[in-house]
Amino acid sequence: MSAQGVMVMGLPANRLAVPALVLLILAMMVLPLPTFMLDVLFTLNIALAMIVLLVSLNARRPLDFSVFPTVLLLTTLLRLSLNVASTRIILMQGHTGPDAAGKVIQSFGNFLVGGNISVGFVVFLILVIINFVVITKGAGRIAEVAARFTLDSMPGKQLAVDADLNAGFINEGEARARRGEIGREADFYGAMDGASKFVRGDAIAGMIILVVNLIGGISVGLLQHDLGIGEALGRYALLTVGDGLVTQIPALIISTAAGIVVSRASSEQDLSREFSSQIFGRPQTLYVAATVLGALGVIPGTPHVAFLTIAAVLGALGYALMRRQRVTAFDVVPLDSNEAETTAPADVTWGDIPPVDVLALEVGYRLIPLVDRNQGGVALNKITEARRRFATDMGLVVPLIRVRDNLDLKPSTYRITLKGVDVAHGEIPAGQVLAVDMGDVLGRMEGVPGADPLAGLPAVWIDSARVEEAELRGFVVLEPAELIARHVEAVFRQHAPELLGRTEVQQLLDTLAHTHPGLVEDVTPRHLPLTSVQAVLQQLIAENVSIRDTRTLFETLAARAPKTQVIEDLVETVRAALGRSIVDRLFEGSGTLHVIGLAAETETRLLNEMGDEGEALLSPATLDALNDAAERAAAEQAAAGYPPVLLTSPGLRAILSRLLRRNLPRLSVIAYAEVPADKIVQVSTELAMEVPE
């Protein structure tokens, strides 16, 4: 058969199956059906109910049968349409005999209840009571409670997914899949809560249809076909009972399947295996049951055969189960197990050590809404924006940040850990925001003093109701979620070199290899080991140099590495190659570079005192004088409105950068070789030491 054979009007045949089924069901309510077709459809209804029951029994979790609410609607609609079609035939042809509505209804009316109308009505009523009062009501209650608890637990589940995503345990695709599954689970239980009303309505409709068929059939027989009251009652009542039974039995099966689905917990096994393992999994339970039944079986007047037979079966089953457990235990215990303690705990392995998160954010329970997207929290989005901004700026992708709640923290506090160590923490007073003084505010605002964690600017805590007032005065207001994100950004900017591990370096090399494969091979492993490349990149990051221009960086390393592998020399060479980028970042594209110059006497003193050993020979007095002079020069430079940049000779640049970085992290030290030729250098401030004699 060609591919077109399974296409109807451009659509696959399987996509037309459900619409066609719905249209046929609706047509059955309007169009008269022959009795043969009615027999086929009744049989199909019973078969469909059995299939639904078996699928529900073999589903390991409710979402494995997520289409069940729709199936419940369609099967209910099918039964009701069959009731309408059979009612039409019973009323029109019921006077002709017991097979007027088909062989299926006749067999249910004669064989199942022996042709006894009273028994048939009683059996039908019992089935309706079981379906309506017991199964349907219980399944509906379970679905209602499950829907409520599922909706209540959604924020926690979504937060767990976000935490795993930020920690790197899952990728974005897996996170989307898990979020989708959580949403489908909530939709499923919500749909089941409503779909259970279909079954209840079907049971009520069955009772009404029974009464209508009985009264209408007798009336038709008496008034239109001149039947006696006894004859009309015998014919139409038997057909009505058969019709009721043939539809109520599949309805009972479908209701049972609905109860199984909504009461089913997620598991790795189907219901049959769980049932056998949990109910008949302990031989002691079977022994106790066998003993009780055996004791009852010997009491005079009780059915000895039934009690003793079942007691013997349970005892034999318990013995067989205990013997199988002993064999299994013997197979897995080593030969010298008698010398070991049977209750000894499992030995500790390397896999038992929990991994340490590179970066983690822990919050108290009052701050959970700030980091939970389902509760409107935007902190995670702002942290992601900060990571993207830092990657664009510095060329380094910060590892995913794990976010979790910590009940050991105060409710309104948070802390940020780096490789398991607390490196920053803060507290957000309830109902307050942080107003940051940008230097051009109008007046002061009363409140608890604070500081912007990222920029270090002074700030004050104010009530959230005073936000508009603070903004009118020129303050920049930071909401709690934004404040947390800025604190996290401050941490990974400050500790960026520690975040550049071998894994991150290898990922950078793999990315560069896609566009410049030969360039990577020329650097590592041909001339430099991966650890040396990592050290160069860490040193650049530590001095706030962007490594985004990887092509220039590795081309420089490829040219310099064959001559030297000293990390300091490689760093200085790379800095010179990246000089235009470094200067542009520091001076924001200005053509004139206003810098701090090193006084000639200071430079000479430093070179003479260090000699060939470097900064290790500098005296404490010289170090104190150098730091004091650098602080004064940086303050003067800032007062003049220029960036704090110290320009020095290449021989002193790396040394001064290391010495001054701890006390003046915002002071940048550049060498003459890094200044592009088209830039004008103007020394606006001089750094001169005053060393006491």
In this structure, the number of other CB atoms found within 10 A of the CB of residue 622 comes to 19
Dihedral through CA 56, CA 61, CA 66, CA 70, nearest 10?
A: 30
- How many domains does the structure of the chain reveal? 4
pLDDT at position 169 is 64
pLDDT at residue 342, rounded to an integer: 46
Asked if the peptide bond before residue 525 counts as cis, ω within 30 degrees of 0, the response is: yes
Q: What is the pLDDT of residue 646?
A: 94
Domain identity same for 210 and 324: no
Residue 328's pLDDT is 42
Report the candidate in 93, 101, 139 with the shortest Cα–Cα distance to residue 244: 101
Model pLDDT for residues 658-672, shown as the tens digit of each residue? 888 888 888 999 999
Place of tokens 């923490």: 425
- For residue 446, is it within any domain? yes
**Cβ distance 386 to 145 under 8 Å?**
no
421 shares its domain with 485:
yes
Residues 534 and 482 in one domain: no
Q: What is the pLDDT of residue 433?
A: 93
What is the reported pLDDT for 202? 72
Which residues 6+ apart lie within 8 Å of 252 measured at CB?
127, 130, 131, 135
Q: Which of 455, 479, 496 is the last residue of a domain?
A: 496
CATH code for the domain in which residue 369 is found: 3.40.30.60
Q: Do 426 and 529 fall into the same domain?
A: no
Q: Which residues of the chain have pLDDT under 50?
A: 1-11, 266-268, 327-342
Q: What range does the domain containing 292 cover?
A: 280-328
Domain boundary among 481, 496, 511: 496
Note the pLDDT tens digit of each residue in 271-320: 556 556 666 666 777 777 778 778 877 787 777 777 788 878 877 887 77
For 19-69, give the DSSP string: HHHHHHHHHHHHS---HHHHHHHHHHHHHHHHHHHHHHHH-SSGGGGTTHH
Which amino acid is residue 190, in one-letter code? G
**Distances in Å between the alpha carbon of 448 and those of 435, 445, 459, 635?**
10, 10, 9, 27
Q: How crowded is residue 429: how many other Cβ atoms within 10 Å of its Cβ?
A: 15
Map residue 422 onto helix, strand or coil: strand
Q: Residue 556: inside a domain, yes or no?
A: yes
> Is there a single domain that holds both residue 551 and residue 589?
yes
Are residue 178 and residue 84 in the same domain, yes or no?
Answer: yes
In this prediction, residue 337 carries a pLDDT of: 40
* Under 8 Å between Cβ of 456 and 424: no
Tokens linked to 406: 């910590």
In a domain, 333, yes or no: no
CA distances from 617 to 611, 638, 658 (A): 8, 31, 14
- Do residues 661 and 639 make contact, with C-beta atoms less than 8 angstroms apart? no
* DSSP H or E stretch at residue 297: helix 283-297
> Do residues 486 and 515 share a domain?
no
The residue out of 474, 496, 518 marking a domain boundary is 496
- Token pair of 201, please? 């309505």
Q: Which residue spans within 283-323 are E strands per DSSP?
A: none
Calculate ∠ Cα 506-508-510, nearest 5°.
Answer: 70
For residues 205 and 58, membership in a common domain is answered with yes
What is the structure's pLDDT at 10?
A: 47
Residues 304, 310: Cα–Cα separation, whole Å: 10
State pLDDT tens for residues 36-91.
Answer: 777 778 788 778 888 887 777 777 777 777 777 788 778 777 877 877 777 777 77
Alpha-carbon distance 239 to 105, whole Å?
7
- Same domain assignment for residues 505 and 550: yes
Q: What's the CATH code of the domain at 505?
A: 1.10.8.540
Position 260 in a domain: yes
What is this structure's pTM?
0.53
Q: List Cα–Cα distances, 335 to 244, 344, 345, in angstroms.
A: 66, 16, 18
Is residue 2 in some structural domain? no
Residue 348: inside a domain, yes or no? no
Whether 545 and 677 share a structural domain: yes
Asked whether 92 and 216 are in contact (CB, 8 A), the reply is no
> Helix H segments across 333-466?
368-371, 379-394
- Clarify whether residues 557 and 639 are in a common domain: yes
- 4 within domain boundaries: no
Strand partners, 574: none
Is the same domain home to 512 and 462? no
Rounded Cα distance between 518 and 498, Å, is 28
Task: Report the alpha-carbon distance of residue 371 to residue 352 in Å, rounded.
Answer: 29
31 assigned to some structural domain: yes
